[in-house]
Amino acid sequence: MIAAYSRAPASGVRIRTFLTITAAVLTDCLTAIPRHMTDRMFLVNDAEAYWRGWQIIKIHGGLGRRYRDPAFDTLAACSQCAGAGQGIEDMPCITCFGTGRLYNESNERLEGGVS
């Protein structure tokens, strides 16, 4: 009865298991190399972005970075001048002072925010 539980798997199963584990380890090692290299390459930039409170978005499979200030969520195009910043007779828009943007001082995300 004990012999039924202690039987070793067939050699074909052991070889397949060994090859599966070896392939998984090699794949993990090979994908980790460029990831670690780019993490080191962007270390200073990521630290500054973290310090400023920016979002860090890894692009191209982690080989590139995109940084974004969440403060842009509080901006929206001026509805008076449609974001152009110009009012009547090429004068600066009175509502947005010629910037073409409105800023929500309560830091809430505006509809149609600039991204």
Q: Is 102 in the site for Zn ion (CB under 5 A)?
A: no
Q: Is 95 in the site for Zn ion (CB under 5 A)?
A: yes
Q: Is 49 in the site for Zn ion (CB under 5 A)?
A: no
Under a CB-based contact definition with an 8 Å cutoff, are residues 37 and 71 in contact?
Answer: no
Q: Which stretch binds Zn ion (CB under 5 A): 13-21, 48-56, 61-69, 94-102?
A: 94-102
Q: Which residues contact 59 (CB under 8 A, 6 or more apart)?
A: 65, 66
Q: Which residues bind Zn ion (CB under 5 A)?
A: 78, 80-81, 93, 95-96
